[in-house]
Amino acid sequence: MAAGAKVGVVVFPGSNCEQDVAYACEQLGITARYLWHGERDLGDCQALVLPGGFSYGDYLRAGAVARFSPVMEEVIRFAETGRPVLGICNGFQILTEAHLLPGALIRNARLKFICRNVALRAEASCDWLDLPQGTVLHLPINHGEGNYYCDPSTLEGLRDGTAGRVILRYCEEDGADLPRHGAPNGALDAIAGVSNAAGNVFGLMPHPERAVDPQASYTTDGPAFFTTVLALVTEGVR
């Protein structure tokens, strides 16, 4: 499937999920190429992934230093051409710091690192995820700064699509809304993932790359986060 599709996996000092992303890509028939944070040549990559980890040790705040890496100038240009960019966990944090996505990720509400499996509900579609609204997924989370926050006007813009869109929300196992402030990390409006207004840049705190291999995960809901973009690049849409 998707023969010839090539995804660039950006590696920063402190990234620790790049091999998981590359492995997930390979399981789905995608060629993964590592891109060091100092590179300025993205080659023939058709999509980019910023993986999880602790770029630059999360000094200052998560993603704040990585945002100024040389490769990010190319990531921004790449995104501005409408090509797909995915940020997972720390990658999501970096994309908000680079203003490619609205809002910010702050310390978890209880100021504790969280590592657990969670239920998520698909709220909208973007280039990286195209599932029926209301689809419930299960993925692991692993972060200390996953508490999504934005100001009221940005939240309104996410709801009407002018600032982007809410793609994923934390939910109950049956897909029902969580109680107020019930998100595992305290995220505003239980937001777990958002896209930009164009839909080609998508950031989420859960780790879909860890839910691809049935021998290594309790769930295999991860491929849904890669197959849509595979179809796009294979068909030559992008």
Q: Which residues are catalytic?
A: 89, 207, 209
Instruction: Choose among 63, 160, 157, 163: nearest CA to 105.
Output: 63
Give the C-alpha separation, 186 to 112, whole Å: 11
Extended strands (E) in the chain: 6-11, 31-36, 47-50, 85-88, 104-106, 114-122, 136-143, 147-149, 165-170, 191-195, 201-204
Give the C-alpha separation, 179 to 184, whole Å: 11
Residues 6+ apart with CB under 8 A from 14: 53, 54, 55, 56, 57, 58
CB 121 within 8 A of CB 134: yes
In total, the chain counts a number of residues equal to 238
